[in-house]
Amino acid sequence: MDFDPRDYDSRDRDDFDIYDARWLDDPRDPDDRDRDFERDRDPRGHDPRDAFVEGLELLRGLERELVQDERENLYELNREDSRMLATIGSFRVVAERDLETARDPDWDPRDDTLEHLRDEGLIRFVAIDSGERAVTLTEDGRDLLESNRRERDEDDERQEFHAEVSRPRELEHDSQLFAAYVEVEGRLRDQGADVERVILEIDLRREYQEWLQEHNKGNPNSDGRPDRDAREIEAWARDHDLPYFDERVHFPDFRIEYELDGRDRHEDVEVMSEHYRGAYAGSKAQAGFTCYRGGGGRGGGGGSNTGGSPFDPGFAEEFL
């Protein structure tokens, strides 16, 4: 009788021929494989999550097969599982219903991808307002993605992956970032753009803090306070195409980096929730970010089926 790896305990590795997605025996260049994958996608539409798996050597077929991480833990994944994992890791936390909306329309509805990933120990559900749930990676989930990165040149920018909830008080807001991304990505794609990666606010701020503290690093006499003056900070913001006013740098919820007409570009996006008021809302409007109306308690309120609505040039003024 043929052996079915799905009948095998994925934590038991003894005397088993392990499949590792990084061992792909494919003579094609990795970029060629990516282009072939693009052609093999659903011809009726584009999947906005594909940008997050392009730098990974994870399975892209319909059937689940065994993949291992650097600690030799085994997991069963297929293409949809890989897309889900990479998407959740890219945004840290995503509303469950937005992930379900993003599923491949040709996927078997009986195959509950999220439940499978939870059973594998790669994701976990967290409660948000109105009795709905969001999804985040576990540390094991992030480790699996990191273990299966494709080798790239040092100069190549890579997609960062995150695990667990970092801002519990912002959980409802942060869980809507992916829905905003889908709206913006669709518009960019219609213009002919190819999305390369997203950068979360936390990663932009981390780079900023590392620069602020650069002179304190390794200095035993440092009191921890940065020594950058206002002109230096403004210059840093300008170099990173971030707005600087009211004596500080302003950061979007996330940045989308993309290529259009042979040029690298980016768009900064902010999810405006019902709690944005006064000076804070005004600063977001002044910053010039693309503003996305959040769902507000996940009960809807926008024109989008993801619980929000896309950018309106005068929209941010409603919050002032």
What pLDDT, on the 0 to 100 scale, is given for residue 293? 86
Question: Considering the chain, what is the average pLDDT of its residues?
Answer: 81
What pLDDT, on the 0 to 100 scale, is given for residue 104? 73
Q: Helix (H, G, I), strand (E, B), or coil: what is residue 292? A: strand
Among 31-40, 212-221, 284-293, the minimum mean pLDDT is found in: 31-40
What pLDDT, on the 0 to 100 scale, is given for residue 91? 98
Of 16 and 118, the one with more pLDDT: 118
* pLDDT tens column, 21-59: 433 444 445 554 444 444 444 444 589 999 999 999 998
What pLDDT, on the 0 to 100 scale, is given for residue 157? 85
Q: pLDDT grade, residue 4 (50/70/90)? A: very low
Is the predicted pLDDT of residue 10 greater than 80, yes or no?
A: no
Instruction: Return the CATH fold of 5-166.
Output: Arc Repressor Mutant, subunit A (1.10.10)
Q: What are phi and psi of 158, to 5 degrees?
A: -115, 155
Q: What are phi and psi of 200, to 5 degrees?
A: -75, 160
What pLDDT, on the 0 to 100 scale, is given for residue 37? 46
Q: How many CB atoms lie within 10 A of CB 132?
A: 17
What pLDDT, on the 0 to 100 scale, is given for residue 309? 46
Most distant pair of Cα atoms in the chain: their distance:
73
Q: pLDDT grade, residue 2 (50/70/90)? A: very low
Q: How far apart are CA 84 and CA 94, in angstroms?
A: 10
Identify which of 62, 61, 233, 58 has the alpha carbon closest to the alpha carbon of residue 159: 58
Question: Whole-prediction pTM value?
Answer: 0.78
* pLDDT tens column, 237-284: 999 999 999 999 999 999 999 999 999 999 999 999 777 766 777 788
Is the predicted pLDDT of residue 205 greater than 90, yes or no?
A: yes
Residue boundaries of the structural domains of the chain: 5-166, 179-319
Is the predicted pLDDT of residue 15 greater than 50, yes or no?
A: no
Of 51 and 316, the one with more pLDDT: 51
Structure tokens at 207: 């780079």
Q: How far apart are CA 181 and CA 310, in angstroms?
A: 10
Is the predicted pLDDT of residue 307 greater than 70, yes or no?
A: no
What pLDDT, on the 0 to 100 scale, is given for residue 277? 67
Q: Where are the beta strands (DSSP E) in 25-78?
A: 65-68, 74-77
pLDDT over 70 percentage in the chain: 74
Is the predicted pLDDT of residue 174 greater than 70, yes or no?
A: yes
What pLDDT, on the 0 to 100 scale, is given for residue 218? 78
Identify which of 291, 285, 284, 282 has the alpha carbon closest to the alpha carbon of residue 320: 282
What is the average per-residue pLDDT within 173-187? Answer: 96
Among 10-19, 146-155, 292-301, the minimum mean pLDDT is found in: 10-19
Is the predicted pLDDT of residue 67 greater than 50, yes or no?
A: yes
Is the predicted pLDDT of residue 143 greater than 80, yes or no?
A: yes
59 CB burial (10 A radius; 0-12, 13-18, 19+): buried
What pLDDT, on the 0 to 100 scale, is given for residue 60? 79
* pLDDT tens column, 80-122: 999 999 999 999 999 999 999 888 766 666 678 999 999 999 9
* Alpha carbon 107 to chain centroid, angstroms: 22
